[in-house]
Amino acid sequence: MKFFVDTADIAEIRDLAETGMVDGVTTNPSLVAKSGRDFFEVLRDICAIVPGPVSAEVAATDSKAMIEEGLRLSEVAGNIAVKVPLTWDGLKACRTLSGRGLMVNVTLCFSANQALLAAKAGATFVSPFVGRLDDAGHEGMELIEEIRTIYDNYDALATEILVASVRNPVHVRDAALIGADVVTLPPAVLRALAAHPLTDKGLAAFLADWKKTGQEILR
């Protein structure tokens, strides 16, 4: 499974990228707005840090303008994935942009039928929002299971399932068990994957025993 980090915070991306755990980045207008910086400057900085896909979202809502904005975004760097909403206009834009060889991330997916449409439109990624479904009283991971089953039924569907709106490590584990291709997660959730109280307890015990020996590894 690939890990994308869901942020526009350059310091966070750089720090996490040094671990080798970051395969890509997803951004959206809200995340870029939080940075307080110029949109294109932020994208250029991120693309220079992370060689994998960097999702940059269009602001237009009609297909013609989406295509124009997508082409402009693709000029930032070769690893830009143009992000479009899962609407009819977004699907039209996806078809055109993917036909020109660009990576396209179709976002705001909330049903298996929507995911099927995105795949038929040539999406590189489809982003189902599991956390928002959970918030609305549904089981977000049931959607991931449905999409995985549908995509696996047809060899011609090459779209990757990019699990979005990830709120906690359980979402990551469940997505991996189902076989999702990618999860995009906030930096705090990515860091939380390494945390376990028994790890902390065991390390404290080892360090205490080592201290009793009075020895040093580096002298």
Range of the domain at 156: 2-213
Which amino acid appears at position 122 of this protein? G
Rounded to an integer, what distance in angstroms lies between the CA atom of residue 74 and that of residue 10?
20
- Quick count: other Cβ atoms within 10 Å of Cβ 84? 29
Total tally of structural domains belonging to the chain: 1
**How much is the pLDDT for 36?**
86
* 219 part of a folded domain: no
- ∠ Cα 206 207 213 (to 5°): 95
List the one residue out of 202, 100, 98 whose CA is nearest residue 157: 98
**How much is the pLDDT for 116?**
98
* 218 part of a folded domain: no
**How much is the pLDDT for 29?**
82
Rounded to an integer, what distance in angstroms lies between the CA atom of residue 86 and that of residue 171?
22
**How much is the pLDDT for 194?**
95
* 158 part of a folded domain: yes
Rounded to an integer, what distance in angstroms lies between the CA atom of residue 32 and that of residue 27?
7
Token pair for residue 111?
Answer: 């049903």
* 119 part of a folded domain: yes
**How much is the pLDDT for 126?**
98
Q: Give me the catalytic one of 64, 83, 120, 201.
A: 83
pLDDT in tens, 20-52: 999 999 998 888 888 888 999 999 999 999 999
91 pLDDT more than 90: yes
Check which CATH number belongs to the domain holding 195 and give it: 3.20.20.70
200 pLDDT more than 90: yes
**Average pLDDT score over the chain:** 96
* 10 part of a folded domain: yes
Of 60-64, 93-97, 141-145, 214-218, the least confident? 214-218
pTM of the model: 0.94
* 82 part of a folded domain: yes
pLDDT in tens, 123-182: 999 999 999 999 999 999 999 999 999 999 999 999 999 999 999 999 999 999 999 999
201 is catalytic: no
List the one residue out of 182, 46, 174, 175 whose CA is nearest residue 123: 182
Handedness of CA 202, 185, 147, 156 (dihedral sign): negative
18 pLDDT more than 90: yes
**How much is the pLDDT for 163?**
98
* 16 part of a folded domain: yes
**How much is the pLDDT for 219?**
81
90 pLDDT more than 90: yes
**How much is the pLDDT for 34?**
84
